Amino acid sequence: MKSYFTLAELTRSATADRLGLDNTPDAACRRQLERLMRVVLNPAREALGMPVYVNSGYRSPAVNRAVGGVPNSYHLQGRAADLDTRCGCNRQLFDVLSRLPHTELLWEQCGRWVHVAL
Ligand SMILES: [Zn+2]
The predicted model gives 84-105 an average pLDDT of 97
The predicted model gives 88-92 an average pLDDT of 96
Residue 109 has pLDDT above 90, yes or no: no
Total tally of structural domains belonging to the chain: 1
Residue 114 identity (one-letter amino acid): V
Q: Tell me the three state secondary structure of residue 4.
A: coil
Q: Which domain holds residue 56?
A: 7-117
pLDDT, averaged across the chain: 96
Residue 10 has pLDDT above 90, yes or no: yes
CATH number at residue 107: 3.30.1380.10
11 touches 37 (CB < 8 A): no
Q: Is residue 21 part of a domain?
A: yes
What is the Å distance from ligand 1's center to 111 Cα? 12
What is the Å distance from ligand 1's center to 24 Cα? 18
**Sheet hosting strand 53-56, strand order edge to edge:** 53-56, 80-84, 113-117, 104-108
What is the Å distance from ligand 1's center to 103 Cα? 12
Residue 87 has pLDDT above 90, yes or no: yes
Q: Look up the pTM and report it.
A: 0.95
First to last CA, the chain: 19
Q: For residue 112, what pLDDT band results from cuts at 50, 70 and 90?
A: very high
30 touches 7 (CB < 8 A): yes
Q: Is residue 46 part of a domain?
A: yes
The predicted model gives 94-98 an average pLDDT of 98
Q: Is residue 1 part of a domain?
A: no
What is the Å distance from ligand 1's center to 106 Cα? 8
